[in-house]
Structure 1
Amino acid sequence: MTALESVVDNVGAKGLDHLWRPGSVAVVGASDDPAKWGHWLASGALSGRELRRVHLVNHNGSRVCGTPTVRSLREVDGPVDLAVIAVPVPAVADAVDAALDAGARALLVITDGLHRLPRRPDLAHELAERARAAGVRLVGPSSLGIADTGARLQLAWGRFVQGPVAVVTQSGQVGSELAAMLARDGSGVSRFASVGRQVDVTTEELLASLVTDEPTRAVLTYLEDVRDPRAFLEAAAALRAADKPLVVLAAGTSAAGSAAARSHTGALTGSIDVLDAACRAAGAVRAGTPAHAAALAHALALGARPRGRRIAVISDSGGQAALAADVAATAGLTVAPLDGEAGERVRTLLPDAAPSNPIDLAGAGEQDMTVYARAAEAVADSVDAVLLTGYFGRFGEDSPSLADAERLVAERLTRLTVKVPVLVHSMADEPITTGTLTRGGVPVFADVRTTLLALAGSAEWTGARPRTLPPAPTTEHAPGGDASYVAAREVLVRAGVPMAEAAMANSAAEAVEISRRWPGRTVLKAGELAHKTEVGGVVLGLRTEEEVAAAYRELTHRLAVPSLVVERMDERPGVVEMLVGVRRDPVFGPVIVVGTGGVTAELWRDTALELAPVTEEQAARMLTRLRGYPLLLGWRGAPGTDLAALARCVAAVSRIPQAEPDVAACEINPLRVAPDGVVAVDALLTWNDTTEEMYR
């Protein structure tokens, strides 16, 4: 067994053979009415009757699509591998029992609303238990259906164009939209699966089943939740290892879900950030809209894998070239000046045009159509991808006499993809020329923004650095109460985080004595209080022994606390204040966050997040994603900070959940980063609700 097959087996997808490769199919609820589900399922099943036996079940026994039917599955003569059930809710349980009696090995339940059945709200789960007891897999209920276009298995509402992209969706209608968009882009579907309520077969299993599906070259999934995060990560990583890009479209991932968090680490990051981190860890890529997701999956399936983000823009319109350059910049792509050799080649090709990027053909294409291909060839060695935007693709449509010449240029562009990805934004309405491009591995889109988002996403996928997946959480944790600053210090010291020099004082005299240990100013903190700042439990910048004693007496009296933390104030020059925190996400487990810290943390909302733990190298890469990264390097003459020390600290904090199972969250804010190292000067700790009262 190969490593990829092992992943498929571990996730449980091996049990889906009868779903995707049935020797016989029965449609229960077949109808001759084109407006009903049963008609779509019956006609779809019959389209593959040359490859498998098809049984149609209609309670009246009337002919469907010109084919005889039986009144019950119990009347079927011969085995049934896959039973598709689309009957009214009250009849579903009997239909499932009949399918199991007929020896079905897989069930696809289309019927919706089982949970609304009076006195049987758990019927769907009951049916799943019956199926599992018989060794049968069940997809649904509330599924839009499944399709395998290569195997002519069409058991869903709608029609699916054959192509290289598999779609696994938690919303049937969103899945239909994605399939239609793929078809409009000139691509199509290899497999389609609407998971419905997932009472048995899950999204993660269906994703894993695609690892070894040869016709599938890219995978597109729409998620509303992740039932088994470990299985999702393993399936995504296996797809990556099989060179099958996974594009994730997700809903319900706004930061609102974390608005009630008590720390910056929670309040500044939402579930979408965690999902992005999960995608990065496994080598997948996330898209923001259905159009973006479909375009990206289409481009990746055709083999558009740019090595980087430097692109050349070629157009037969100065306006379209300028607009493309603007959109490219917002998409994170670089339209850089051409290097010497490329510039010289463009100057030779277009003597009347400036050898700049974007390249404006300025009507040259109308004189000699081969200039489109020759311009792309001239710059291919100096960029990571070529974008052709404008009229090309429409010549043959508007002037049929030019169709052959345009097709030959299109074929020349497809040959260039061996060297560099080529993407085309075309004004064409008909695939006279664009079909040649698509079949040759050149993605074509009708909108320049869609084209460039697909290109940027492809570059993101190609440049991803999948990591060894973090260990799966062993237990579920629920956050309990907040611990004291003293407890937070203890945890961070054990983790190896440099903390400001400090000690507990039980009297004003002891506080003064402690403050004599260091030069400079002193800070007093009500260390037993978790939220010190909110109650005025911190006094900064105490210079003299008299100030220390007076502040000690005032704080202990006002807050009614028996002791205070006496801490050395960090007064190093060139300091940048950062936030570093770790928390347990309810789905994917521990996550590590680093960002711009201090009192303005929520103002800038500048954070980077990864699944925890991370290595020092991974932590260093997180820093480069921050908008405030230039501050760490040294801004306007300021000295650069100790990035290595900061990365060590981030990595150390990321290991806390493994080392301290009782800790639900731990945050340093601020972590003061200077040229000579880091010092944590404030921290918040939240323990799990199962933790002993050790910190109270």
Structure 2
Amino acid sequence: MRRLGVFRDPASVAVVGASDNRSKWGYWLASGALTGAHRRRVDLVNRRGGVVCGRPCATNLAELDAVPELVVLCVPADHVPDVVAEGLSLGVKGFLGITAGVADEPKLAQRIRAGGARLVGANSLGIVDTATDLRLAWGSFTPGPLAIVSQSGQVGSELALLGARQGLGISRFVSLGNASDVTATELLADLADHESTRVVAVYLENFANGMALVEALRAIDKPKLLLTVGGSAASTRLARSHTGSLTSPLDVVDAACRAAGVARVRTPAELIDVARAVLATRPPRGNRVAIIGDSGGQCGIAADVAHAHDLHVPQFSQDIGVDLPAQAAQHNPVDLAGAGEQDLANYALVTEAVLRSEDVDAAVLTGYFGRYGLDIPVIADREIAVAQRIGEIAATTGKPVLVHSMGPNSATAHALWAAGVPTYDRIEPAVTALTGLAALGRPAELPLPYQARPIGVLPDGYWETRQVLVDVGFPRGLVVRRREDLDHARRLTSPYVLKAGWLEHKSEAGGVRTGLSTLERLAEAFDEMAARLGPGEYVVEEQDTRPDTVEILVGARRDPDFGPLVVVGAGGTETELHHDIATELAPVSPATAREMLGRLRCAKLLHGWRGRPPVDLDGLADLVHRVSLLVAASPLVGELELNPVRVGPDGPVAVDALIIGTRPHKEARRA
């Protein structure tokens, strides 16, 4: 990957299309470029000449005394190719394309690359690097620690404006525009050693070459936040397995975020809330949170919001050891029941007590704290001292505290921020910020090697699929093509299962019969099914009748952007109804596979439910691990599904399987 220094700190810049009209892009680009004139040569070009921002303009690039390293293209679309051609002939190294609607833009980008130069854009909102005084965009930017790389210029601008309102300035701003040449992956990789950047914000709408993007993000040793949109569900409609139809675009993006150590947010405001928290405090070690307040109602609301954000509000395993009124709740949430008003020090005492507990990783303080000093000025200093003490407690325990305060602009609130305690005006941003911190605190699993023998030839039908998946446990079985072949079923133990082996989804087509207790009933079922579905490869298997089993889906698919994925979920014929899945980039370790299983809503069934024994989780996790290795190593496999996998105390057994190829001419191979 070629370095992008020309877009970070060029030795010289020329703005082509400079204007003295403040309503035009050419003015903002010219005036912005001139703010860096003390650092680099700045030339202005206008085909009519004249003076812009007090500087005389050349009529073309050839008139300049020196060749500019970076050229900003802000001319009508039909003039852009000529300016590019002139720049390339002179030896320009970079172009920033502001103009939209350039004809045959991919060809122009190819021409630029062939000429030894690079292009950001076209249709870009510009570039800013406050550390090098490079300002080539509309508007003004406050210097700060936040880098923004945005596919949408307006979303990027909104992030910058929202940050500025909260005192969070910009280190670097890049609007990708059409990204005809320089990609988001390249621009993010260029941030890895950008010293003034402490937090990276990314807005993307598509994820072409997603694995390279993951690698670039993983290499940035700084907090990274991603904002995206839901994406199209069209790809899931094309899927032919449960695995493919259940995994949404955001499921895949979230898996990529976990692999890259990125926190995904839902709105620009959330991104800024999380970014401010990241700069103020440290991520928690987990998602267990204590809720503290002096109002039972606010504590209850905070707990509900935390639960909605997948944070866990556990009951304390022992008394927190603070003397509170009899009506106080001390099991989490902790309701001080007026003790905070009686003595502000109780806020710090309770915060310290809960953070000393091994049951939680963070705390959220909700309610009136931060406003007492506004209402009663004589205790303002006391409240500030308690705020500083809360900051000391968070620092000492290594567990973050976030505050929802009814006095978010008070001196106490400012003292909380200064002490490393993020403080917000509502409970929602406080919890959202903690959720983002928890995502950033989750250790990302290092990439695993593809240690598996790849599937080189796609199997034809269920029986061949069983032979390919040699590491998967299936019931004993045999192939039946004619009624006479049923005599071989005597080698199997009843009850029997009869399947039409060529069908993708047997239950929907009436292609599976279970509970066939005798050979006579098996023969009757075969006659009926063969008469209805016609000749083909039928499979007879021993039915898994083990007690205390749970049906789980174990699947994998190849995403066009992010590559191989592994999926686990509630299995069986009601898989789509439950829609209970967990997704990760493949391959995954057995430990990550267990964590995926633990995220399922049906996880309690795996641990034993209502007196049933727990299933073999280690065996199931190992199966998920091996499936993930197999799909990662097998580029021919587009979708692979075991559904259901019946797992009991003595291990997992797959009773159905499906492999679909990546190539359009390859037909599905369904067990």
CA distance in 2, matches of 1:138, 1:516: 71
The offset of 1:264, in angstroms, is 0.3
CA distance in 2, matches of 1:547, 1:204: 61
Which letter does structure 2 place at the counterpart of 1:212?
D
The offset of 1:509, in angstroms, is 3.6
Superposed, 1:75-86 pairs within 5 Å as 75-86=63-74
The offset of 1:15, in angstroms, is 1.8
The answer as to whether partners of 2:261 and 2:440 remain within 8 angstroms in 1 is yes
Quick one: structure 1 residues 139 and 531, their matched pair in 2 at CA, closer, same or farther if it must change by over 3 Å?
Answer: same
State the Cα deviation string for residues 375-395 of structure 1 (Å, max 9, x = none): 544544334323333445556
State the Cα deviation string for residues 501-527 of structure 1 (Å, max 9, x = none): 11123433431x333223331122222
Quick one: structure 1 residues 372 and 220, their matched pair in 2 at CA, closer, same or farther if it must change by over 3 Å?
Answer: same
Superposed, 1:323-402 pairs within 5 Å as 323-336=301-314, 343-344=320-321, 346-347=322-323, 357-359=332-334, 373=348, 375-382=350-357, 383-393=360-370
The offset of 1:111, in angstroms, is 0.8
Q: Look up the match of 1:8.
A: none
Q: Look up the match of 2:144.
A: 163
Q: RMSD value over aligned CA atoms?
A: 3.2
The offset of 1:398, in angstroms, is 7.2
The answer as to whether partners of 1:24 and 1:53 remain within 8 angstroms in 2 is yes
The answer as to whether partners of 2:404 and 2:427 remain within 8 angstroms in 1 is yes
1:649 to 616, 619, 623: 623
Quick one: structure 1 residues 63 and 286, their matched pair in 2 at CA, closer, same or farther if it must change by over 3 Å?
Answer: same
The worse-fitting range, judged by mean Cα deviation, of 599-608 and 35-44 is: 35-44
The offset of 1:598, in angstroms, is 0.8
Q: Look up the match of 1:614.
A: 588
1:301 to 279, 290, 304: 279
Q: Look up the match of 1:446.
A: 425
The answer as to whether partners of 1:314 and 1:388 remain within 8 angstroms in 2 is yes
- DSSP 3-state at the match of 1:15: coil
**1:514 and 2:488 correspond:** yes
Q: Look up the match of 1:569.
A: 543
Superposed, 1:423-502 pairs within 5 Å as 423-428=402-407, 430=409, 434-468=413-447, 483-492=460-469, 494=470, 496-502=471-477
State the Cα deviation string for residues 518-551 of structure 1 (Å, max 9, x = none): 3331122222444433432322222222222233
State the Cα deviation string for residues 364-410 of structure 1 (Å, max 9, x = none): 76777666555544544334323333445556777888776665555
Which letter does structure 1 place at the counterpart of 2:35?
S
Quick one: structure 1 residues 235 and 667, their matched pair in 2 at CA, closer, same or farther if it must change by over 3 Å?
Answer: same
Q: TM-score of the superposition, structure 2-length normalised?
A: 0.90
Superposed, 1:583-598 pairs within 5 Å as 583-598=557-572
**1:545 and 2:526 correspond:** no
State the Cα deviation string for residues 461-517 of structure 1 (Å, max 9, x = none): 2023322166699x9x9xx9994222322222x3x1011111123433431x33322
- DSSP 3-state at the match of 1:516: helix
CA distance in 1, matches of 2:285, 2:562: 30
State the Cα deviation string for residues 632-663 of structure 1 (Å, max 9, x = none): 11111122212222122222222333555433
The worse-fitting range, judged by mean Cα deviation, of 332-341 and 452-461 is: 332-341
Structure 2 regions of 5+ residues with no counterpart?
Answer: none
State the Cα deviation string for residues 564-608 of structure 1 (Å, max 9, x = none): 322111111112111112221111112111111111101001111
Quick one: structure 1 residues 601 and 148, their matched pair in 2 at CA, closer, same or farther if it must change by over 3 Å?
Answer: same
CA distance in 2, matches of 1:16, 1:38: 24
CA distance in 1, matches of 2:414, 2:657: 60
The answer as to whether partners of 1:347 and 1:354 remain within 8 angstroms in 2 is no
- DSSP 3-state at the match of 2:147: strand
The offset of 1:206, in angstroms, is 0.8
**1:578 and 2:552 correspond:** yes
The worse-fitting range, judged by mean Cα deviation, of 415-424 and 190-199 is: 415-424
CA distance in 1, matches of 2:589, 2:82: 55
CA distance in 2, matches of 1:455, 1:444: 11
Superposed, 1:47-58 pairs within 5 Å as 47-58=35-46
CA distance in 1, matches of 2:130, 2:380: 31
Q: Look up the match of 2:85.
A: 97
Quick one: structure 1 residues 197 and 268, their matched pair in 2 at CA, closer, same or farther if it must change by over 3 Å?
Answer: same
The answer as to whether partners of 2:98 and 2:122 remain within 8 angstroms in 1 is yes
Quick one: structure 1 residues 544 and 309, their matched pair in 2 at CA, closer, same or farther if it must change by over 3 Å?
Answer: closer
Quick one: structure 1 residues 334 and 54, their matched pair in 2 at CA, closer, same or farther if it must change by over 3 Å?
Answer: same
The answer as to whether partners of 1:60 and 1:71 remain within 8 angstroms in 2 is yes
The offset of 1:210, in angstroms, is 0.9
Which letter does structure 1 place at the counterpart of 2:426?
D
Superposed, 1:413-424 pairs within 5 Å as 413-419=390-396, 420-424=399-403
Quick one: structure 1 residues 195 and 35, their matched pair in 2 at CA, closer, same or farther if it must change by over 3 Å?
Answer: same
Which letter does structure 1 place at the counterpart of 2:197?
T
Q: Look up the match of 1:633.
A: 607
The answer as to whether partners of 2:296 and 2:335 remain within 8 angstroms in 1 is yes
The number of residues matched between the two structures is: 664
The offset of 1:152, in angstroms, is 2.4
The offset of 1:134, in angstroms, is 3.0
Which letter does structure 2 place at the counterpart of 1:265?
T
The answer as to whether partners of 2:481 and 2:538 remain within 8 angstroms in 1 is yes
The answer as to whether partners of 1:642 and 1:673 remain within 8 angstroms in 2 is yes
Which letter does structure 2 place at the counterpart of 1:502?
G
State the Cα deviation string for residues 329-364 of structure 1 (Å, max 9, x = none): 2223344456767x33x427x899665644556677
State the Cα deviation string for residues 242-294 of structure 1 (Å, max 9, x = none): 2x121111124354530232210111112211111111122222222222222
**1:172 and 2:149 correspond:** no
**1:15 and 2:3 correspond:** yes
The offset of 1:435, in angstroms, is 4.5
Q: Look up the match of 1:263.
A: 241
State the Cα deviation string for residues 298-326 of structure 1 (Å, max 9, x = none): 32233331122333434455543332232
The answer as to whether partners of 2:100 and 2:122 remain within 8 angstroms in 1 is yes
Identity %, equivalent residues: 48
The worse-fitting range, judged by mean Cα deviation, of 391-400 and 19-28 is: 391-400
Quick one: structure 1 residues 636 and 173, their matched pair in 2 at CA, closer, same or farther if it must change by over 3 Å?
Answer: same
1:64 to 6, 30, 52: 52
The answer as to whether partners of 1:249 and 1:290 remain within 8 angstroms in 2 is yes
CA distance in 1, matches of 2:58, 2:338: 67
Q: Look up the match of 1:9.
A: none
The answer as to whether partners of 2:408 and 2:424 remain within 8 angstroms in 1 is no
- DSSP 3-state at the match of 2:574: helix
The offset of 1:79, in angstroms, is 4.1
Which letter does structure 1 place at the counterpart of 2:491?
R
Which letter does structure 1 place at the counterpart of 2:586?
A
The answer as to whether partners of 1:482 and 1:530 remain within 8 angstroms in 2 is no
Which letter does structure 2 place at the counterpart of 1:208?
A
CA distance in 2, matches of 1:55, 1:592: 54
